[in-house]
Amino acid sequence: MDQHAIIIADQTGVIRLWSEGAERLIGHAASYAVGQKLDLIVPEELRARHWTGFGKVMDGGPFGGAGEFFDLPVRCRDGATKTLRGQLHVLRNEASHAIGAMAIFSAPP
């Protein structure tokens, strides 16, 4: 699993889990990333769209891309943006309310 970046954020967009694979692919140590907002990895020019969509999904809106693979630009520790292939999943409680999100990325071949 260390070849995959696994990132979990709570419903406010604060990173709660940052895997060893995320350290390797994105460059930030878990000790730094955990507790930061997702702005850490969302390129600045995409943040408004990201937060609009994230907020809608966390408020119970639909999310049509669950489980589908896609390419996503990710801002790395060195300031560069690289494209990672991955999936997004909405995390829900027993009552089906969104409580966070999980991204699983791998490096491009």
Which amino acid belongs to residue 62? P
Task: Answer whether 0.85 is exceeded by the pTM.
Answer: yes
Is the CATH number of domain 4-106 3.30.450.20?
yes
**Cα angle: 93, vertex 73, 100; to 5 degrees:** 10
| Other beta carbons less than 10 A from residue 98's beta carbon | 18
Q: What is the mean pLDDT of the chain?
A: 92
Helix (H) or strand (E) holding 91, with range, is strand 81-92
- Tell me: the pLDDT tens digits for 58-98? 998 888 777 789 899 999 999 999 999 999 999 999 999 99
| Domain ranges across the chain | 4-106
Sorting pLDDT into bands at 50, 70 and 90, what band is 3?
confident
Candidates 51, 45, 43, 49; CA nearest to 9 is 51
Contact 50, 57 (CB under 8 A): no
